[in-house]
């Protein structure tokens, strides 16, 4: 599933193609959305906003479209009228004079009046967005210090969008690694200094991933590995996806554990406490 940085980059791509442009034609796969094939042409796309792992497309007038990619959804932007070479199922298409924005395989799509948006069950529960430029370290620290979350295990808490929105599986591993926090900890077991570190790292790595198209590793390490001819898989992350490879800090082999059916990668030496 795409995480916050990927959703923000998708929003950038969609805004480049759609923002300020009139919809010439559109397509909706689901029968309940078919009436909008007649309503939306002639309207202008005002903007596309990331909301956690969802996107909201605002049209002038009263309507907006909520979409969540879930596991398999993906947006493509093509020249007007072109289709990508994919075996996915088309769910939404928005066409203007220059571009076609095409949403494939997403399972959750809804049109709603804009004044009802904040009542959406997913959106109203979102915590601070770790990628949003207006989210500060203090906003994130407030969550780490909130009594509501203190008895939660960090491995599950970091995937809870009501805690911090936009964090997913790879950011979870990377945040814990860079903060030198054991994946066995509950939030209440961390010190004030560790909470501060977690807050700083949560924002830093989310923004870094957004700005670098998915790289969370330290830029100095990345550049050194590139000079050695390392592949993207080898230099992209500190720990995520690197089971049995050496930790870039201490040389210990990175280990992997299953938590709720999802893999978490960590260094047993650097993250021993």
Active site residues: 2-3, 53, 262
**CA angle, residues 218, 197, 170, in degrees to nearest 5:** 50
State the pairing for strand pair 45-51/63-68: unpaired
Residues 6+ apart with CB under 8 A from 186: 150, 151, 152, 153, 154
Of 52, 50, 202, nearest to 121 by C-alpha is 52
Category of 74 on φ-ψ map: left (φ > 0), alpha (ψ -120 to 50) or beta: beta
Cα–Cα distance, 265 to 273 (Å, whole number): 15
Cβ proximity of 76 and 14 under 8 Å: no
Does residue 179 sit in helix, strand or coil?
coil
Residue indicated by tokens 């979870």: 172
> Exposed, middle or buried: residue 217 (CB in 10 Å: 0-12, 13-18, 19+)?
buried
């Amino acid at each position: 599933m795409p995480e916050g940085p990927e959703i923000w980059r998708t929003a950038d791509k969609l805004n480049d193609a759609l923002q300020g442009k009139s919809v010439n034609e559109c397509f909706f796969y689901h029968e309940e959305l078919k009436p909008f094939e007649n309503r939306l042409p002639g309207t202008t796309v005002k903007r596309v906003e990331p909301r956690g792992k969802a996107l909201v497309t605002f049209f002038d007038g009263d309507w907006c479209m909520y979409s969540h990619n879930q596991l398999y959804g993906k947006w493509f932007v093509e020249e007007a009228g072109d289709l990508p070479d994919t075996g996915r199922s088309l769910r939404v298409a928005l066409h203007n004079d220059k571009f076609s924005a095409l949403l494939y395989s997403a399972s959750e799509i809804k049109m709603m009046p804009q004044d009802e948006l904040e009542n959406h069950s997913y959106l109203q529960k979102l915590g601070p967005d770790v990628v949003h430029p207006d989210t500060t370290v203090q906003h994130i620290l407030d969550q780490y210090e909130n009594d509501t979350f203190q008895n939660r295990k960090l491995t599950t808490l970091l995937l809870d969008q009501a805690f911090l929105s936009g964090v997913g599986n790879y950011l979870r591993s990377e945040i814990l690694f860079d903060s030198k926090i054991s994946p066995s900890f509950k939030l209440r077991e961390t010190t004030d200094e560790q909470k501060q570190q977690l807050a700083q790292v949560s924002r830093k790595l989310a923004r870094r991933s957004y700005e670098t198209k998915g790289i969370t590793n330290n830029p100095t390490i990345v550049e050194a590995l590139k000079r050695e001819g390392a592949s993207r898989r080898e230099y992209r992350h500190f720990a995520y996806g690197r089971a049995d490879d050496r930790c870039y800090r201490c040389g210990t082999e990175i280990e992997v554990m299953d938590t709720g059916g999802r893999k978490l990668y960590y260094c047993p030496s650097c993250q021993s406490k």
